């Protein structure tokens, strides 16, 4: 039997022992031997840092985002080969879609976030200027810079593609190389995707390494600049978190563990309402998707005690209709568990729950006649959820959930918290007041909460679907860590440092102009400069304009805004202004009119305005003046070679009065033509 090779130090290599056997989840056929014994983990770490880390470190955030997008396109083009291997793990086509295309979609999502929201630089200024002195000559801001270590990702078997890609996306966007250690039972699928990544030549040499088998002594060799993430069982994660070297060196460790997630039927929902059917559908889907092998699957089902029998009967009817077996057979909706060992573990956990006092309502007996690792949809009932504590402690990682009654809303929230921390919870309700009470009473025990009803159901992505934009993680048993959550995930692989100095120095370090920094004025209007000729700090101080009563009256008639503070002399006199004042949007319009160069030129369009603040009122007779300053710029990738090359320029706008007091501040975003179209697509 062939051994499943690891990819370390830029070479595909095998361990020196037979190791563990990977079997086909449906046929039981032996597929691969998996071992990493004897592989040099210290050398693999050095190679990743020296080759992959160095190459990624020369790239900007925007260039890394372009790399993610190109890789996502490449993997999507090869998806069918991944589906073929996914079938070996017992997954249905629908299960594989979440894992394969869901993972690739996460790459696309982070590519988009990186190109839109991160600087075209290797340094990420995280906030605006923080003044530290009265005169403004001493200030600070926080910046994020790349760690020069390696990210070690220890993943679970249930999502061999998505589990890797959802970590690689923010890791690479941050500029760190990664060593991936997948769950052994499905490592062949992870390996196939890593081969596709390596063969694509789209990521630098050393940016990705793969360990098929055990991690060996890798954790012993990690240093302070490294990062470790873990996805899997809470027990294993807790052992790794306490690894002596990780503790001694304060190496960041993020854990996402399986948890006893819950779904609660609101006390306002009756069996006649559409939400009752939604509840049943959500529970059944989460119990059977991926054969229940999801860290976000619903394990505890909580319903009003008056609804217990109705829910029990409805779930049995729906679960009994779920056809399970070989996904290659027509009509099969639920496949196998990943291995016979996993099947036996699920059976043992179900038996333990029954022995603790739970009642078996459906299923519970594994199919041992077939070579496949099949386990039927299984429903348990826990009549005394306060007394049978095992239901809040034991998890059967398969198509198994436990139904339990609650007395009132407070009891429901207490049961939701009893799992000691979960990744996801769902409340099905139409009662907005109940939803708010539930969030206040139970959100602290969950990483994510879905409030489901007929209004949200058509667009709902489901209880168990982590999304790139949302935090994936949870407190307590769920691991206490966070993944995803948009750009929050990228920051996990960066170092935050507070930088102090003069505004001009901070602007130079961040390559972004900040208030108080020096400006560069020239006879050439900034709007006459192409993208390559603009630099942060390029500035224009405009001519002045005195605001008249006619300006205010004309703007009111043009806009339809006849608010009393602008038009009613008596009412305005009694207001906090003491007299009539100009419209805020007139100040914005007049301020822009002062700085705009009207002729055809490199500025193509103004497509955004951010952070508008009105500082002081502008009264009749006041004289305003505008300063326009280039704050930062980012080249935009061309979607096709025929597209006009452009970049995004952010401009800081400050309007002052005759006393040099700021009256309005904002920033605008413009598309500016570039001469060169060689930015990576």
Backbone phi, psi, residue 661, to 5°: -90, 130
* 300 touches 265 (CB < 8 A): no
Please measure the distance between the N-terminal and C-terminal CA atoms of the chain and give it in whole angstroms: 43
CB contact set of 49 (below 8 Å; sequence gap of 6+): 148, 149, 150, 177, 206
The rounded distance, in Å, linking the Cα atoms of 35 and 15 is 5
Extract the tokens encoding 221.
Answer: 């060799």
Catalytic residue list contains 256: yes
CA angle in degrees (0–180, nearest 5) for 284-289-293 = 115
Using CA atoms, how far apart are residues 605 and 335, in angstroms rounded to an integer?
A: 53
Burial class (CB in 10 A: 0-12, 13-18, 19+), 295: buried
**Are the CB atoms for 399 and 292 separated by under 8 Å?**
yes
SS3 of 241-293: the string is HCCHHHHHCCCCEEEEECCCEEEEECCCCCCCCHHHHHHHHHHHHHHHHHHHC
Alpha-carbon distance of 650 to 39, in angstroms, equals 50
Mutual angle of helices 308-320 and 274-288, in 10-degree steps: 50
Instruction: Return the structure tokens found at 110.
Output: 């982070």
Q: Which of 343, 358, 325, 82 has its CA nearest to residue 197?
A: 82
Write the DSSP assignment of 588-601 as a string of letters.
HHHHHHHH---SS-
Closest CA to 198 of 217, 219, 177, 214: 177
Return the DSSP state at 445.
G
| C-alpha of 550 from chain center | 52
What's the DSSP call for residue 638?
P
Query: Which residue in 161, 166, 212, 256 is the catalytic one?
Result: 256
Is residue 397 within 8 A of residue 185, CB to CB? The reply is no
Beta bridge partners, 668, equal 609, 651
Q: Which of 295, 358, 382, 630 is labelled catalytic? A: 295
What span, in angstroms and rounded, lies between the C-alpha atoms of 202 and 63?
Answer: 12
Q: Find the radius of gyration of the CA atoms of the chain.
A: 30
Q: Enumerate the active-site residues.
A: 256, 295
């Amino acid at each position: 039997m062939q051994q499943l090779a690891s990819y370390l130090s830029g070479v595909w290599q095998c361990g020196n022992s037979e190791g563990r056997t990977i079997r086909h989840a449906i046929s039981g056929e032996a597929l691969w031997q998996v071992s990493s014994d004897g592989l040099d983990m210290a050398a693999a770490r050095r190679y990743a840092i020296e080759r992959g880390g160095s190459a990624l470190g020369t790239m900007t955030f925007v260039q890394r985002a372009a790399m993610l997008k190109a890789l996502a396109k490449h993997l999507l083009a090869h998806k069918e080969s991944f589906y073929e291997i996914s079938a070996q793990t017992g997954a249905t086509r629908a299960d594989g879609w979440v894992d394969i295309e869901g993972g690739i979609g996460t790459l696309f999502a982070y590519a988009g976030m990186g190109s839109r929201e991160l600087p075209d630089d290797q340094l990420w200024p995280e906030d605006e200027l923080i003044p530290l002195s009265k005169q403004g000559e001493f200030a600070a801001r926080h910046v994020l810079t790349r760690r020069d270590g390696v990210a070690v990702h220890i993943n679970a078997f249930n999502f061999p593609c998505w589990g890797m890609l959802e970590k690689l996306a923010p890791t690479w966007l941050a500029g760190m190389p990664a060593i991936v250690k997948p769950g052994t039972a499905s490592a062949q699928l992870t390996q196939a995707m890593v081969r596709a990544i390596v063969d694509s030549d789209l990521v630098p040499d050393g940016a990705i390494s793969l360990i098929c088998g055990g991690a060996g002594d890798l954790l012993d060799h990690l240093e302070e600049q490294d990062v470790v993430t873990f996805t899997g069982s809470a027990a294993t994660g807790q052992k790794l978190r306490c690894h002596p070297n990780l503790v001694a060196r304060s190496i960041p460790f993020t854990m996402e563990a399986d948890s006893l997630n819950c779904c609660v039927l609101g006390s306002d929902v009756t069996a006649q309402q559409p939400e009752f059917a939604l509840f049943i559908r959500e529970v059944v889907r989460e119990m059977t998707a991926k054969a229940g092998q999801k860290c976000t699957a619903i394990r505890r089902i909580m319903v009003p005690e008056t609804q217990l029998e109705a829910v029990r009967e409805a779930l049995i009817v729906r679960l009994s209709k779920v056809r399970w077996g070989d996904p290659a057979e027509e009509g099969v909706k639920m496949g196998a568990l990943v291995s016979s060992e996993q099947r036996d573990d699920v059976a043992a956990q179900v038996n333990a729950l029954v022995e603790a006092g739970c009642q078996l309502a459906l299923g519970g007996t594994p199919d041992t006649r077939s070579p496949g690792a099949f386990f039927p949809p299984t429903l348990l009932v826990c009549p005394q959820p306060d007394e049978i504590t095992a239901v809040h402690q034991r998890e059967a990682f398969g198509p198994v959930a436990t139904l339990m009654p609650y007395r009132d809303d407070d009891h429901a929230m207490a049961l939701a918290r009893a799992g000691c921390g979960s990744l996801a919870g769902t409340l099905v309700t139409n009662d907005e007041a109940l939803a708010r009470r539930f969030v206040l009473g139970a959100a602290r025990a969950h990483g994510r909460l879905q409030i489901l009803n007929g209004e949200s159901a058509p667009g709902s992505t489901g209880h168990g679907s982590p999304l790139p934009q949302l935090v994936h993680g949870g407190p307590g048993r769920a691991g206490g860590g966070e993944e995803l959550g948009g750009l929050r995930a990228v920051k996990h692989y960066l170092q935050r440092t507070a930088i102090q100095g003069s505004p001009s120095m901070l602007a130079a370090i961040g390559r972004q102009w900040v208030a108080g920094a020096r400006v560069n004025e020239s006879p050439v209007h900034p709007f006459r400069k192409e993208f390559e000729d603009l630099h942060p700090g390029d500035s224009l101080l405009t001519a002045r304009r005195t605001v008249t009563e006619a300006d205010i009256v004309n703007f009111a008639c043009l806009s339809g805004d006849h608010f009393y503070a602008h038009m009613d002399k008596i009412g305005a006199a009694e207001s906090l202004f003491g007299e009539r004042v100009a419209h805020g949007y007139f100040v914005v319009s007049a301020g822009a009119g002062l700085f705009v160069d009207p002729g055809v030129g490199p500025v193509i369009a103004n497509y955004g305005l951010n952070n508008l603040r009105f500082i002081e009122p502008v009264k009749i007779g006041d004289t305003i003046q505008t300063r326009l300053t280039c704050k930062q710029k980012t080249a935009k990738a061309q979607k096709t070679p025929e597209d006009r090359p452009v970049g995004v320029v952010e401009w800081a706008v400050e309007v002052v009065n005759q006393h040099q007091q700021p009256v309005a501040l904002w920033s605008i975003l413009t598309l500016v033509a570039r001469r060169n179209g060689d930015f990576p697509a």
